[in-house]
Amino acid sequence: MVLKKGNTSPLIDRPLLNVQQVREDFPVLAREVNGQPLVYLDNAASAQKPRQVVERLSRYYALEHANIHRGVHFLSQEATSAYEAARATVAKFINAAEPRECIFTRGTTEALNLVASSWGGANLQAGDEVLITQMEHHANIVPWQLLEQSHGIKLVVAPIDERGQLIVEEWEKLLSPRTKLVAFCHASNALGTINPAKALIKKAHERGIPVLLDGAQSSAHFKIDVQELDCDWFALSGHKLFGPTGIGVLYGKADLLNAMPPYQGGGDMIEKVSFSGTTFRHIPERFEAGTPHIAGAIGLAAAMDYIESIGHKPIEAQERDLLHYATERMREIEGLKIYGEAENKVAVISFDIPGIHPNDIGTMLDADGIAVRTGHHCTMPLWERFGLTGTTRASFAFYNTRGEIDSFVESLTKIKRMFLGA
Ligand SMILES: *Cc1c(COP(=O)(O)O)cnc(C)c1O
């Protein structure tokens, strides 16, 4: 979703999303918490699940379950078809050229570790550099630090500005003949910043450097087209995309993936096993050792179908409205400082009220039934950049409303008065 000045025509900004109707698909949104209607503003940590996903999972487990591949019986073949159909749905959702380019993983974290361990382990040597940014999630920092320890590579970090935007000129200066991989988040979970991925990928490719995109946030907020981006790998998590936990995707270009060594060994990923040597299958099976999360893949496809049924345009318009509205209303609270004021943002707002600890803000909001996240949001080095240890973060999905933002701001105002007076 793109936050652009001057694009405020209500007709352009707010097409076609009937929020009240959409909310009925999410049973949890009707709950009360601490005697108040739940206001769920922790979507960047994990999004809620529509009935369509829950019912699909339930039907699979109740009626359709068997282990996939290798089975000659009816249920196994049916489950195999559903699992492979889910892969095709994923491919369509991110516009991959072929389903086999979509590997099911446990989530973004495992997808990033897969690339670091398999591609990194085989292709990186002492002195080689991996370029990331200051706004990365720990999942896009620590796997590279493990390679620093095991392979002697060097992790290079590009700086961001006060508004939480990557300083592209500085990033570009850090691309050197030693740079063997570029990795960055498509959208930041902590700041909301959308990085100019397509332009960065082009600059890296001009120097022959492959690019890994962390799409855990971006995929939940706007349409992804991996062919248009031309990224070499793209990682996403089902649970942030209104789907099940424990399932995610690593997209990779077919030739690149097929040239990578296996990540884990076991059943399903082999061609032939003998004690004198084993040969491996091609993608996607090469990277899916063992019984996969069959239900998770099927549930993720149901979530993607659900998003497509609403449409990316109405979702983006609704979230753009929520981001604008919440930003404006929060700015009414004197002393409150928003971290992350990039021109292009997803609907994530990190903030600090000097004098009140984020944990106190989070606890007090919870007493009013409002769920936010407090702390470092798995981006500790980012907060170091701003001289903080963490923030409070409100993050929105298309099922949130302006009315919920009003409740949130009212509660914040009350908390501030309690702690700081007036
Ligand atoms: C959540 C998140 C991750 C990690 O995703 P998991 O689902 O926990 O594996 C990585 N990067 C970003 C930007 C995230 O928001």
Task: Provide the pLDDT for residue 15.
Answer: 55
pLDDT value, residue 129:
98
Distance 313 CA to ligand 1 centre (A): 24
CA distances from 396 to 135, 145, 170 (A): 19, 32, 31
CB neighbourhood size of 294 (10 A): 22
Query: pTM for the full model?
Result: 0.95
- Sorted by sequence, the CB contacts under 8 Å of residue 346 that are 6+ apart come out as 1, 187, 192, 194, 217, 218, 221, 222, 319, 323
The answer to whether the beta carbons of residues 290 and 268 sit under 8 Å apart is yes
Report helix, strand or coil for 125.
Answer: coil
What spacing in Å lies between the alpha carbon of 46 and ligand 1's midpoint?
9
Structure confidence at residue 11 (pLDDT): 46
Q: What is the pLDDT of residues 379-413, one digit of tens each?
A: 999 999 999 999 999 999 999 999 999 999 999 99
**Cα distance between residue 252 and residue 104, in whole Å:** 11
Spatial contact of 39 and 404, defined as CB atoms under 8 Å apart: yes
Closest CA to 28 of 17, 13, 39, 44: 39
| Nearest CA owner, ligand 1 atom 5 | 108
CATH 3.90.1150.10 for domain 19-30+312-420, yes or no, is yes
Rounded to whole angstroms, the Cα distance separating 279 from 269 reads 9
Q: Domain 53-308 belongs to what topology?
A: Aspartate Aminotransferase; domain 2 (3.40.640)
Task: Report how far apart, in Å, the C-alpha atoms of 314 and of each of 15, 327, 328, 392 are.
Answer: 6, 20, 21, 27
User: What is the predicted pLDDT for the residue at 422?
Assistant: 67
Ligand 1 center–CA 188 separation, angstroms:
10
**Cα–Cα nearest to 112, from 93, 87, 130:** 130
Residues of the chain with pLDDT under 50: 1-14
The answer to whether residues 341 and 323 touch, using CB atoms and an 8 Å cutoff, is: no
| Ligand 1 pocket mutation, candidates 43, 108, 233, criterion most atoms within 8 A of CB | 108
Atom of ligand 1 nearest to the CA of 107: 9
Ligand 1 cavity residues, CB under 6 Å? 107-109, 137, 139-140, 185, 189, 214, 216-217, 237, 240
Estimate the crossing angle of helix 402-420 against helix 312-331, to 10 degrees: 30
**Ligand 1 pocket test: which of 106, 109, 249 has the largest number of ligand atoms within 8 Å of its C-beta?**
109
CB 369 within 8 A of CB 38: yes
**Atom nearest to 239 CA in ligand 1:** 7
Mutate to test the pocket of ligand 1, among 233, 240, 348 (most ligand atoms within 8 A of CB): 240
The preferred substitution site among 217, 236, 293 for testing ligand 1, maximizing ligand atoms within 8 Å of CB, is: 217
pLDDT of residue 132: 98
pLDDT of residue 294: 98
Distance 366 CA to ligand 1 centre (A): 23
Ligand 1 center to residue 274 CA distance, Å?
A: 38
Per-residue model confidence (pLDDT) at position 267: 86
Q: Distance, CA 78 to ligand 1 centroid (Å)?
A: 32
In the reported structure, the alpha carbon of residue 38 is separated from the centroid of ligand 1 by a whole-number distance in angstroms of: 24
Q: Which is the closest atom of ligand 1 to the Cα of 217?
A: 15
Angle at 397 between CA 377 and CA 387, to 5 degrees: 25
Q: How far apart are CA 231 and CA 212, in angstroms?
A: 6
Q: Write out the two tokens for 272.
A: 């032939």
| Catalytic residue annotation | 378
Residue nearest to atom 2 of ligand 1 (CA): 216
| Nearest CA owner, ligand 1 atom 15 | 189
Q: Which atom of ligand 1 is nearest to the CA of 137?
A: 11
Give the burial class of 174: count Cβ atoms within 10 A of its Cβ; 0-12 exposed, 13-18 middle, 19 or more buried. middle
Provide the residue ranges of all domains of the chain, joining segments of one domain with +. Answer: 19-30+312-420, 53-308
Let me know: does 280 contact 271? Beta carbons within 8 Å: yes
At residue 71, the pLDDT reads 83
Q: Whose CA is nearest to atom 1 of ligand 1?
A: 216
